[in-house]
């Protein structure tokens, strides 16, 4: 296990591949298998974010497992772009983005694909814009909702676990919730470049939910 290389500054992605005993699991990190204990029950076959650290004896300690949201099971249908400029282009022209969704919905080849694009439309109908992108083979998932001068922004990106930003455009302030302390430090460094907004608070919260929850079946959509 000591041969595993990782960036301790960021959460990593692991897959639960086996449950050995009530609190012992086998996890897959890249091509490596790790055995770990977890006080909370984990789902076999599911992907999680986790924090990895090395102990004084160079063994790997896994902590802070957070289950990845169901939306990432639909990554095959995310819209593919070459750069992050696409994020701002989509946000600037929601009508064009809706046309992209409708075109993809009309060309859907499976129930799963149809369900995905229908959820994107339902999200818009509820006032939440959901933007799922693949940028250079890495996923970027964004949701935002405007209410008066407030904007709620939820996003996922690669190994940056869920982040929720509450933006007050009137007072030009940000209140931010992050899943990991490592993410918190990174955001603090990046937000120093924002001259128009002041950060009112950055807090840790393990259970950050999407603004709009996707339905998992066509029956849910009808209900």
Indicate if the pLDDT at residue 1 is higher than 60.
Answer: no
Spatial distance between the Cα atoms of 22 and 102, rounded to a whole number of angstroms = 46
Nearest 5°: the CA angle 203, 9, 41 is: 70
pLDDT the model gives residue 99? 93
Indicate if the pLDDT at residue 8 is higher than 60.
Answer: no
Indicate if the pLDDT at residue 190 is higher than 90.
Answer: no
pLDDT the model gives residue 113? 94
pLDDT, tens digit (0-9, with 9 covering 90-100), for 85-95: 877 888 788 89
State what percent of residues in the chain have pLDDT above 70. Answer: 87
Segment 36-48 shows an average pLDDT of: 87
Residue-range domains of the chain with CATH: 12-67 (2.40.50), 70-222 (no CATH)
Nearest 5°: the CA angle 123, 129, 132 is: 95
Between the alpha carbon of residue 214 and those of residues 82, 155, 160, 217, the distances in Å are: 26, 15, 21, 9
Indicate if the pLDDT at residue 221 is higher than 70.
Answer: no
Segment 179-188 shows an average pLDDT of: 79
Spatial distance between the Cα atoms of 56 and 21, rounded to a whole number of angstroms = 26
Segment 65-89 shows an average pLDDT of: 85
Average pLDDT for the chain:
84
Spatial distance between the Cα atoms of 135 and 153, rounded to a whole number of angstroms = 19
pLDDT the model gives residue 125? 92
Segment 156-176 shows an average pLDDT of: 86
**Neighbour tally for 216: CB within 10 Å:** 12
pLDDT the model gives residue 220? 66
For 90-126, b/e burial (b = at least 16 CB within 10 A) is: beeeeeebeeebeebbeeeeeeebbbbbbbbebbbee
Indicate if the pLDDT at residue 2 is higher than 50.
Answer: no
Strand runs labelled E in the chain: 12-19, 24-29, 32-37, 47-54, 60-67, 79-81, 129-135, 138-147, 150-157, 160-168, 173-178, 198-204
Q: Of 166, 162, 140, nearest to 153 (Cα)?
A: 166
Segment 183-206 shows an average pLDDT of: 76
Q: At what angle do helices 85-92 and 94-106 cross, to 10 degrees?
A: 100
pLDDT, tens digit (0-9, with 9 covering 90-100), for 95-127: 999 999 999 999 999 999 999 999 999 999 999
Indicate if the pLDDT at residue 191 is higher than 60.
Answer: yes
């Amino acid at each position: 296990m000591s041969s595993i290389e990782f960036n301790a500054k960021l959460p990593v992605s692991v897959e639960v591949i086996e449950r050995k005993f009530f609190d012992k699991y086998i996890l897959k990190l890249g091509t490596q298998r790790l055995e770990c204990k977890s006080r909370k029950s984990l789902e076999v076959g599911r992907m999680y974010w986790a924090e990895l650290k090395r102990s004084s004896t160079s063994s790997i300690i896994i902590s802070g497992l957070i289950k990845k949201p169901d939306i990432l099971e639909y990554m095959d249908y995310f819209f593919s772009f070459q750069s992050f400029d696409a994020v701002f282009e989509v946000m600037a022209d929601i009508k064009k983005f809706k046309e992209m969704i409708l075109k993809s919905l009309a060309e859907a080849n499976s129930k799963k694909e149809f369900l995905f694009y229908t959820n994107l439309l339902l999200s818009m109908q509820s006032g939440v814009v959901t933007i799922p992108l693949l940028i250079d083979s890495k996923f970027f998932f964004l949701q935002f909702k405007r209410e008066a001068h407030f904007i709620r922004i939820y996003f996922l990106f690669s190994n940056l676990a869920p982040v929720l930003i509450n933006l007050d455009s009137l007072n030009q302030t940000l209140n931010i919730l992050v899943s990991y302390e490592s993410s918190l430090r990174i955001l603090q460094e990046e937000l120093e470049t924002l001259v128009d907004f002041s950060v009112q608070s950055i807090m840790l919260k393990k259970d950050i939910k999407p603004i709009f929850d996707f339905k998992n079946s066509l029956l849910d959509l009808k209900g």
